[in-house]
Chains A and B, each alone.
Chain A
Amino acid sequence: MALVVNGDGNITGLTAGGLPDASITQSDLAANIAGNGPAFSAYQTNGSANQSISSDVWTKAKIDTEEFDTNNNFDTTNNRFLPTIAGYYQINACLYLRNASASPIKIVGLYKNGSIYKQGMQLYFTGNYYIAADTFPVSSMMYLNGTTDYVELYGYISSSSASIGYGSASCWMNGHLVKAA
């Protein structure tokens, strides 16, 4: 039902539960009013231990601890964000990628439904350089359908003794709804 204000100032269309859906558009909102969509922030604890991974294998990060999760859409068991509201989400993340041998390749990526969606920062050393640990950022906006679509964070390291670090400042993932679909 549409929200109607007649010439006498009488309003119809209001229900006891609030305004009908879509009766107020984004352009009707004041500039300082944000939406109320899902938002989350989580990071990797992994028992305060580095997560060992195989060289040359894209491996999911154990993002297992929440800072906030306004709509209970982050799954700390499966380390993924699976929102129940369809729309366009801004996702940001960072991983601390560790290695022990020279000339590593390191990449961070956002995975959507189990496949690479966007790669972030990568380092590819072709000389005999040794860098033991670095933080790698990635961010992207992506459409998630609100039922089955999910996003996860993966890291890739080509090196012996490779691992993903832990901590709220260096291994994290957050995001929020930008525009509902």
Chain B
Amino acid sequence: MTLVEKIKTIYPVLTPADFAFGGITLQNDLDGRGDYIAKWEHPTLQRPTDEQLAQITE
């Protein structure tokens, strides 16, 4: 399950536009870290914690 799929599971209200234009930036720098949250500036939704993300499984 990808990072964005986990985030959308926690917050089903999020749309692709939120990630493209809405203050949430997911990023992959090809440095072995994989996908990560580079910026979370959503006006109402709190940034999910690592624990919340880890609890989301297939």
**B13: Cβ under 8 A from any A Cβ:** no
Which one of B3, B17, B28 contacts A58 once the chains associate, using CB atoms below 8 Å? B28
Total interface residues in chain B, CB < 8 Å: 15
Residue from A56, A116, A154 with most neighbouring chain B CB atoms (10 Å): A56
The answer to whether B30 touches A55, judged by C-beta atoms less than 8 angstroms apart, is: no
With a CB–CB cut-off of 8 A, which chain A residues contact B2?
A: 54-55, 57
Q: Separation in Å of the A41 CB from the closest CB of chain B?
A: 21
Partner of B25, one of A58, A60, A122: A58
Number of interface residues of A (CB under 8 A): 20
> Interface residues of A: mostly helix, strand, loop or mixed?
strand
Quick one: which of B1-45 are within 8 Å of A by CB?
A: 2-4, 16-17, 19-20, 25-30, 35, 38
Question: By the criterion CB–CB under 8 Å, are B20 and A53 in contact?
Answer: no
A115–B2 alpha-carbon span in the complex (Å): 22
- Asked if A57 contacts B29 (CB within 8 A), the reply is no
Alpha-carbon separation in the docked complex, A156 to B28 (Å): 10
Task: State how many angstroms separate the Cβ of B27 from the closest Cβ of chain A.
Answer: 5
Q: Which 9 A-B pairs have the closest CB atoms?
A: A158-B16, A56-B19, A56-B4, A57-B26, A59-B28, A105-B20, A58-B27, A60-B30, A57-B35
